[in-house]
Amino acid sequence: MVPALAAASDRCEQCAYREAAVAAAPAGARVAVDPGFTAHLTDRNPVNLAVPEWTDSTGVPLDSQWVLLDESSQAYGNLANGWERRTAERLVADGYEVVARHGPTWVLRRP
């Protein structure tokens, strides 16, 4: 396959993963998200921007019922440091449930 077409095909697959993840979070629920998800949720959900420190802009820890993370994201150096995977694994250890894994995308819910 031509490299540009392969990249477009991969991007479309990632779009499908993101759409499935967004659809999993119920409208109105507070969601902590990778920056790539914000535009898809801000019109229907209160959104916390997920960052490696797992705090908001004032330093308060994020407190969201739902979490959408993407291991393939480039946000905050994720491809080099893997913070999104580590964060998902830590949240699961802290009691969040894995609702779905769509490719590199994690959908978590606090019971």
Q: What is the pLDDT of residue 44?
A: 92
Task: Dump pLDDT digits (tens) for 69-79.
Answer: 999 898 998 88
pTM of the model: 0.85
Distance of CA 13 to the CA centre of its chain: 16
Task: Dump pLDDT digits (tens) for 77-97.
Answer: 888 899 999 999 999 999 999
Question: Rounded to an integer, what distance in angstroms lies between the CA atom of residue 104 and that of residue 71?
Answer: 5
20 pLDDT tier (thresholds 50, 70, 90): confident
Model confidence at 8: pLDDT above 50: no
65: its two tokens: 């019922």
